[in-house]
Amino acid sequence: MSKVLPIIIIFLNILLISKARVLAQIPPKSIKLGSFTPPPTRTPTATPTRTPTLIPSGPPAPSEVPEPSGGNGGGNPAECAKLGLSMFSPQPRFLEQTTLCELGVIWPPYSPSFVPSNLTNLYNATGGKFWQRVNSIMIKSGIVSDLTGLLKYIDNQPGCALFIGYGYRSYAEQEGLWKGNNCATDPGCGVAPPGKSAHQAGIALDLFCAEMRGSDIILKGVSQSSIDNARNFNFIHPVNWDTPHFIGL
Ligand SMILES: [Zn+2]
């Protein structure tokens, strides 16, 4: 028995350690913020028929002129004027095929088949340093170095463990979120319709401060100084009420 006992203890330790690893990888049971329900990967089943009041219905067809690779040619103020908005200046360097207007709005919308060029895995690009909702978040590779500075800054804020909710979203993911939040009947749902989100350009991120309570992740908004300093990292925070939402210039 005296020889067997240490072996049993070692065996139990190995079991506990591997259990702890497994637990750490289990997705959070609940995330206390509306934007994460339902899961964003859900495949939509029908085409939405209504759009929020801010965005006119009957959108113009996306431009058929090929854009210079990696950019949007400086944007087109006439596109924003269609919405009664001004064009944001400067235009994001890595925005493709559309124009960034004030309030973080993009116009014209992306077609369902649009996928930005040069997307990269954010977790790998940042060396896995930051807490992400999932490790498969993609982002435009061009903004990674500026973004890393912003992420470090927010993560270093007192009482904040940075949590990255979203980066790039496909058309289907955007549509799934939009439907899941009943946005067709609730224009104030806080989610842009499919085709109309800067997340689809791969240059927008939703950033939070997170806290574990048991198996729940409690998400809080980032600090005001994170918002105020975003521009120093070449990011904008375009919408006051949308605290997590940043766009890379
Ligand atoms: Zn966002």
Averaged pLDDT, 56-80 = 62
- Do the domain assignments include residue 194? yes
CA of 198 to the centre of ligand 1 (A): 8
102 alpha carbon – ligand 1 mean position (Å): 15
- Out of 32-41, 62-71, 116-125, the most confident range is 116-125
Q: What is the pLDDT of residue 117?
A: 96
Residue-wise pLDDT for 72-117, tens only, equals 999 999 999 999 999 999 999 999 999 999 999 999 999 999 999 9
Instruction: Please tell me whether residue 178 adopts helix, strand or coil conformation.
Output: helix
Mean pLDDT of the chain: 80
Domain containing residue 120 = 29-44+115-248
pLDDT at 160 over 60: yes
Alpha-carbon distance of 73 to 77, in angstroms, equals 12
Q: How far is the CA of 212 from the centre of ligand 1 (A)?
A: 22
Nearest alpha-carbon partner for 200 in 179, 175, 164: 175
Q: Which residue has the higher pLDDT, 246 or 28?
A: 246
Question: Is 34 among the domain residues?
Answer: yes
pLDDT for residue 71: 79
Within-domain flag for 146: yes
Q: What is the CATH number of the domain that holds 215?
A: 3.30.1380.10
24 belongs to a structural domain: no
Centroid of ligand 1 to alpha carbon of 197 (angstroms): 8
229 belongs to a structural domain: yes
Instruction: List, for residues 118-138, the tens digit of each pLDDT value.
Output: 999 999 999 999 999 999 999
Give dist(CA 141, CA 145) in Å, integer. 8
Could you tell me the distance, in angstroms and rounded to a whole number, from the CA of residue 4 to the centre of ligand 1?
A: 57
